[in-house]
Amino acid sequence: MKLLRLRGRKICDHVLRRGSVWKGTHMTIRFVAGPPRHPAADPKKTGIYLGTVASTKLEKSAVKRNRMRRRCREAFRVTLKEVEKPVTAQLLILPRSSSLTCAFPELVSDVRAFLSVLH
């Protein structure tokens, strides 16, 4: 299943305000079912639209914030290869500071726990 980008301030704000919340040990995820309402988004495409939010309150160093984003996104990419039946949803990941130093399999287990709730 393809991992698509969730982009645009209005779309991310919509997911932040109206989305359901799932809290894991290394990340918090806000999610809304269905594709985003955006002219560039094809409503017939199935996949996960994924965005990340990591503010300077989380970590001052941009390098570390970007590493948190990349690790969380990669955990989703690896886990979604195993999924047989794709679900279309918009996800906004809010990584926690522990996502920077934890082992990668722990992030993957967080993602698996979330996907079991999503399906």
- CA dihedral 91→20→35→27, nearest 10 degrees, is 10
pLDDT score at 118: 84
Q: How many domains are contained in the chain? A: 1
Dump pLDDT digits (tens) for 96-114: 999 999 999 999 999 999 9
The pTM score is 0.88
What is the CATH classification number for the domain harbouring 85? Answer: 3.30.230.10
Mean pLDDT of all residues in 51-70? 94
pLDDT score at 78: 94
Give the rounded distance of the alpha carbon of 2 from its chain centre: 13
Q: Are 1 and 61 in contact (CB under 8 A)?
A: no
Determine the structural domain holding residue 42 and report its residue range.
3-118
Res. 6 pLDDT band, cuts 50 70 90: confident
pLDDT score at 86: 73
